[in-house]
Structure 1
Amino acid sequence: MIQDNINEQKQGKMNSLKRFLINLFDIRGDMMSYEDIDAMMEENTDIHGSNMWILMMAIMIASIGLNVNSTAVIIGAMLISPLMSGILTMGYSLAVRDLKLMRRALLSFGVQMVISLITSSIYFSISPLGEPTAEMVARTSPTIWDVLIALFGGIAGIIGNTRQKKSNVIPGVAIATALMPPLCTAGYGIATMQAKFLLGAFYLFFINTLFIALSAALVTVLLGVPAHQSMDERRQKRINRIVAVITVVTVIPSLLIGAYTVYSSYIENQISDYLKEEFVFSDTQLVQSSYDQSAKMISVSLVGTPIDQETISFLEREMEKYDLEEYTLHVTQNTVSSASESENTDKVTIAVQEKAIAKLQEELEAKREQLAEMESKATAKLDLEQMSNKAESIFSSLSDCKCGIIADETGEYIILVADAEKDLTDSEISVIENWLKEESKVEQARLFIEQK
């Protein structure tokens, strides 16, 4: 009897846990009605004047962002773009077997795509900035990771779009899947007659479009949305085969590009380790290095006492340890014509120092930008004048208070500069410091009080 009660309690707990997990991951819990979803998808195919103007402005903004290499501007354009809804409708119509809705969605999306390409092509044709930027180049070599981003983004997009209570999912998906930038980059390829940008960027755009639509179709099936019309098994199989073939053909190049990207990164790390660990000599310095993956060659430039051929042969044999056996080593040795050993040493030192200085200058510039950003953020958060006045009203012994923000590598500091009518005790100074930290929400405080 006791054992039966224990078993019943265990079964009850298991059922409770099961219900909790089902409710936790229930994809249908807060979804719209099927009728509302149908109406929304129908509405997505309706393109009109305002949509076209919004689309063209978004394309212009994205093109400018790409042209000036501004990530923030590009993100803004992606938030404005109305392209996402049409893609979700294409996937939805595929799942509910509504070929009429599919044709309308394809037509609307095709019109939007053509207008986008024309708009971006016009912009880049008249823009005085003709050189491709890093943001453009980044859109020309899509990989399998772009496929996964589009797939997961599409799932999030259709789930968020079918909820009764709307959220910020669609804007987030628009940013993550990046429909606008590759389309604008393709426009740049048309304007400048560069096939690399046109084909590479349009391939990325096609990947995003296809896998957002496929993920939307998958979620629509999981939501149990009823089909709009019946379809014979033969026709359904033919459509499934067409979709499968398009998907496989689309994915294969991204897999190859992704594999090459991983391999290139691995080789780059191996070459770096090889140069760091093997090119260590007492009287000779490695001052410059480069590599060419297509030619399978590593080039190094040495300054100082020349190394002999036996050492070079040893370095070539050591390449096998780093999986670089297919590479050849090209060594350039720079010697100094002067017979003076001290002059030779000076030349080596100067070459090494020039390389080190260039690296330090890059690091210093990065630190300056970081500090400037920290200072601007800190100043934006606080009303320093109000804080200064408040300090004078709270601490009657202080006058002429001035608050400010400084920042360095260790973080932000809130500072207080003031005059004191009397000598302050350690306890009073501690109270002022604690108030300053609490008021500013800055962890570190510094006081500069001139005591009379």
Structure 2
Amino acid sequence: MENKFDQDNVSPTSNEGSGEETKKDFKGFLGSTKKFLVEVLEIRSNTDPVAAKEAIIADIPFKGHTSWILVCSIFIASVGLNANSTAVVIGAMLISPLMGPILGMGMSLAINDIDTLRRSVKNFVVMVVLSAVTAFLFFYFFPLRDESSELLARTQPDIRDVLIAFFGGLALVIARAKKGTIASVIFGVAIATALMPPLCTVGFGLAIGNVGYAAGAMYLFIINTIFIGLATFLVIKYLRFPMVRYANSKRRRFIARVASIVGLAVMIPAGFTFYKVFKESLFKKQAQEFLSETIELYEFKNNGRYVDNLTELVYVNDDNAYIEIVCMGNEEIPENVINSWRNRKNNYSRLKNAELRVLQGGKDDSEEKFNYISELYESKKAELLTKDERIRVLEEEIANLSKNAALQIPFQDISAEARANYENLSALGFSYRIQTDFNKLDTIPLFEVKWKDGISADQVQKEEAKLTNWLKIRLQNNKIQVKTVND
């Protein structure tokens, strides 16, 4: 009993002691984790604000050598986009000096430096105009102006472009602020944010007279610019770069207000752009899910076909959006099936107000619809003709050429041999005749012959049959026909 009593008295004390030790261990673990994360993520201690500011300001001007480097890089990028070569475009981005004014604008807003902001904006405008004019001149005078997939990819920005620009800008300004700048990061950001290709596409759109291409590419460029500048502004503020001081306190306050207003004016459209592009991406994501559950699963019984490459997903706002699909062939999708798709569309929150358009070859084979689909195909052919598709098309062309070459008649040789073998032959002609039995269409090699005067009808018939057999054997073609013509 005494032992049991002692144990009962000791046990609670032991449990309390173990609980306190567990709390201490947990607090120690949290403290160690926090210390570790601070050491890993802390960047202020290894920042050189003076050197970073000087480096950014040095990259702002576009004069002399820098302007020529920009022109050359724009030409290289334009050639790469025209040739649909990603490697060439990447090479052009590596030598492009486009980042300087953008970083300058973000930094000057963060440190209240109105003079640097003025120079940055001026050089930014020079950069955009010089780049667009250079690309315009290239595409306007260059004879090959195909709408390659590399060009078309720069006309419709989405949420990924926003994220790439923002995080690319973060990486770039952090690398600039570090003691001993990380050059590889700068090169990587130049490639990832892709400032140059949209400017080249602006020039391309203007050169071919397609304002939509130019506007879409400029929109993408503005998105990249705003979010790189916004990332620069936030990092400079976080790193607590010293503010520019002015002797006149009244002027200092005025400039601070102007910088704050400009910074706010930049961030408002940036937030609006992000929100709009984000909603558009959600719309397209749900639209793709809807298509995968409806038209892509529909089984055509005859010769109908859903042309997925011609599908258009257009989103302007929640009340102005549509999904347009194209079906080719003579088979018509029943109206009740299309209505069921429209009902299913309403199950998606982002698609309720969107219009579903179904263009069918069997339902409307008018000339206008044919022209519309043809134009739609032409606008999308650059996306359709990937390398594999081009190879397949070329292989089919080679096969057709080989087949046609095999059908060619060596008429000069045949006529010489026929004249030597048939002494009564006075003239020989050849042509292809298209004929049909209303079940199929066929192309027949037809030889027309004239015989010398004075031979009997029986002799003509025998000579004609003999010539026919010889031609079939000589040319290895049983479709050959021979016809005697009279003057």
Does the TM-score normalized on the shorter chain lie above 0.5?
yes
Q: Pick from 57, 62, 79: which aligns with 2:72?
A: 57
> What is the alpha-carbon distance in structure 2 between the residues aligned to residue 39 and residue 365 of structure 1?
52
1:275 corresponds in structure 2 to: 295
Q: Pick from 232, 245, 268: which aligns with 2:265?
A: 245
Query: Residues 295 and 306 of structure 2 are in contact (CA less than 8 Å); yes or no, is this contact kept in structure 1?
Result: no
2:227 corresponds in structure 1 to: 211
1:227 corresponds in structure 2 to: 243
Note closer, same or farther for the CA distance 1:85–1:273 as it changes in structure 2 (3 Å cut): same
Query: Residues 142 and 254 of structure 1 are in contact (CA less than 8 Å); yes or no, is this contact kept in structure 2?
Result: no
Note closer, same or farther for the CA distance 1:333–1:142 as it changes in structure 2 (3 Å cut): closer
Query: Residues 298 and 329 of structure 1 are in contact (CA less than 8 Å); yes or no, is this contact kept in structure 2?
Result: yes
Matches within 5 A, 1:157-172: 157-167=172-182, 168-172=184-188
| TM-score of the pair, normalised by structure 1 | 0.63
Note closer, same or farther for the CA distance 1:327–1:206 as it changes in structure 2 (3 Å cut): closer
> What is the alpha-carbon distance in structure 1 between the residues aligned to residue 129 and residue 153 of structure 2?
22
Q: Render the CA deviation track for 1:279-306: whole Å, top value 9, x for unaligned.
A: 365xx45445576667866554567xx8
Q: Pick from 50, 55, 74: which aligns with 2:89?
A: 74
Query: Residues 109 and 260 of structure 2 are in contact (CA less than 8 Å); yes or no, is this contact kept in structure 1?
Result: no
Q: Which amino acid aligns with 2:286?
A: Y
2:4 corresponds in structure 1 to: none
CA drift of 1:224 comes to 1.3
Note closer, same or farther for the CA distance 1:137–1:317 as it changes in structure 2 (3 Å cut): closer
Aligned length in residues: 335
Q: Which amino acid aligns with 1:243?
A: G
> What is the alpha-carbon distance in structure 1 between the residues aligned to residue 132 and residue 339 of structure 2?
53
> Which deviates more, 139-148 or 265-274?
265-274
Note closer, same or farther for the CA distance 1:315–1:88 as it changes in structure 2 (3 Å cut): same
Q: Render the CA deviation track for 1:182-237: whole Å, top value 9, x for unaligned.
A: 11111223333332232221222122112111211110111111101267666534
CA drift of 1:65 comes to 0.8
Note closer, same or farther for the CA distance 1:45–1:298 as it changes in structure 2 (3 Å cut): closer
Please, which runs of 5 or more residues in structure 2 have no aligned partner? 1-12, 315-321, 347-351, 364-383, 393-487
Q: Does 1:105 align with 2:134?
A: no
Q: Render the CA deviation track for 1:246-270: whole Å, top value 9, x for unaligned.
A: 4333554564455345434533443
> What is the alpha-carbon distance in structure 2 between the residues aligned to residue 60 and residue 364 of structure 1?
26
1:181 corresponds in structure 2 to: 197
Note closer, same or farther for the CA distance 1:39–1:287 as it changes in structure 2 (3 Å cut): closer
Q: Does 1:322 align with 2:310?
A: no
Query: Residues 182 and 202 of structure 1 are in contact (CA less than 8 Å); yes or no, is this contact kept in structure 2?
Result: yes
Q: Does 1:190 align with 2:212?
A: no
> What is the alpha-carbon distance in structure 1 between the residues aligned to residue 168 and residue 43 of structure 2?
16
> What is the alpha-carbon distance in structure 1 between the residues aligned to residue 56 and residue 358 of structure 2?
61
CA drift of 1:6 comes to 6.8
> Which deviates more, 228-237 or 15-24?
228-237
Q: Tell me the C-alpha RMSD between the 2 structures.
A: 3.7
Query: Residues 271 and 322 of structure 1 are in contact (CA less than 8 Å); yes or no, is this contact kept in structure 2?
Result: no
Matches within 5 A, 1:92-131: 92-131=107-146
Note closer, same or farther for the CA distance 1:241–1:228 as it changes in structure 2 (3 Å cut): closer
Query: Residues 81 and 197 of structure 2 are in contact (CA less than 8 Å); yes or no, is this contact kept in structure 1?
Result: yes
> What is the alpha-carbon distance in structure 2 between the residues aligned to residue 297 and residue 37 of structure 1?
51
Matches within 5 A, 1:335-374: none
| TM-score of the pair, normalised by structure 2 | 0.59
> What is the alpha-carbon distance in structure 2 between the residues aligned to residue 261 and residue 122 of structure 1?
34
Query: Residues 116 and 184 of structure 1 are in contact (CA less than 8 Å); yes or no, is this contact kept in structure 2?
Result: yes
Query: Residues 52 and 178 of structure 2 are in contact (CA less than 8 Å); yes or no, is this contact kept in structure 1?
Result: no
Q: Which amino acid aligns with 2:169?
A: G
Note closer, same or farther for the CA distance 1:292–1:148 as it changes in structure 2 (3 Å cut): closer
Q: Pick from 166, 169, 178: which aligns with 1:154?
A: 169
Query: Residues 90 and 105 of structure 1 are in contact (CA less than 8 Å); yes or no, is this contact kept in structure 2?
Result: yes
CA drift of 1:46 comes to 4.3
> What is the alpha-carbon distance in structure 2 between the residues aligned to residue 216 and residue 113 of structure 1?
20
Note closer, same or farther for the CA distance 1:133–1:15 as it changes in structure 2 (3 Å cut): same
Query: Residues 316 and 328 of structure 1 are in contact (CA less than 8 Å); yes or no, is this contact kept in structure 2?
Result: no
> What is the alpha-carbon distance in structure 2 between the residues aligned to residue 331 and residue 83 of structure 1?
47
CA drift of 1:164 comes to 1.6
> What is the alpha-carbon distance in structure 1 between the residues aligned to residue 101 and residue 232 of structure 2?
11
